[in-house]
Amino acid sequence: MAHQEALAAPAAGHTLDTLAAACGRLYELMMLAACLLLLVMVSSITLDVLLRNIEIPGLPRGFPASNDISEYALYFCTLLGAPWLLRAGQHIRVDIVLRAIPPRLAYGCEWLSDVMALGGCFVLAWMGVVMAFKSYASGAIQIKSIVIPEWWVMAPLPVVFALLAIEFAFRMRRLAQGPKEPRSDAVSAA
């Protein structure tokens, strides 16, 4: 019986490693999409400035949709890039206190931070689902120079926060498997 459990443990670890790798590939695709959105945003702003300052026959003066494109692109770039940034340890991190306190206490702070973040991501994912469904049910529309249903903007929110929750779970797994000290990713001071 113990032998069977020992054989099952590596398979579970292997499955988690496979899932973590698949999530990493998804995060990379999401970051690529964020980069492409940033290119779209910069291009629309450039087009707007160009059309406002150079009169081109047959084209309007300016590109009014540029503001909306920039607004949505910034929002979606933030959402799309967040899981990749978390995996890479590139989120904003103030670690001066963690570096000043004993390593075991800092390790405990890392755990507390990850548990709180995991819980927060679950709450925000659930709230995102509720908000998106309410928006869909009400038929709310965002009316700007670009007119779209409001739920289109809200729908990615719960998906991304669910992915962030998954990544926090992977972070906690990596923390448990590593040394009993604060993480060394994205350390600002040595």
Distance of CA 94 to the CA centre of its chain: 19
Q: What is the pTM of this model?
A: 0.83
Phi, psi of 147 (to 5 degrees): -105, 120
Mean per-residue pLDDT, 58-78 = 92
Q: What confidence tens digit (pLDDT) does each residue in 114-157 have?
A: 999 999 999 999 999 999 999 999 999 999 989 999 999 999 99
Report the C-alpha gap between 99 and 114 in whole angstroms: 17
Q: Any idea where the domains of the chain sit in the sequence?
A: 2-177
Query: What per-residue confidence (pLDDT) applies to 186?
Result: 57
Q: Give the type of residue at 96.
A: I
State the alpha helices, DSSP H only, in the chain.
2-53, 65-88, 96-100, 103-138, 150-154, 156-177
Task: Find tokens 């993480």 and name the residue.
Answer: 183
pLDDT digits (tens, 9 = 90+) for 154-179: 999 999 999 999 999 999 999 999 88
Evaluate if residue 29 carries a pLDDT over 90: yes
Q: What is the pLDDT of residues 72-115, one digit of tens each?
A: 999 999 999 999 999 988 877 778 888 899 999 999 999 999 99
Three-class secondary structure of residue 149 per DSSP: strand
Residue 5's pLDDT is 44
Q: How far apart are CA 169 and CA 92, in angstroms?
A: 19
**187 band by pLDDT with thresholds 50, 70 and 90:** low
pLDDT of residue 98: 86
**What is residue 4's predicted lDDT score, i.e. its pLDDT?**
47
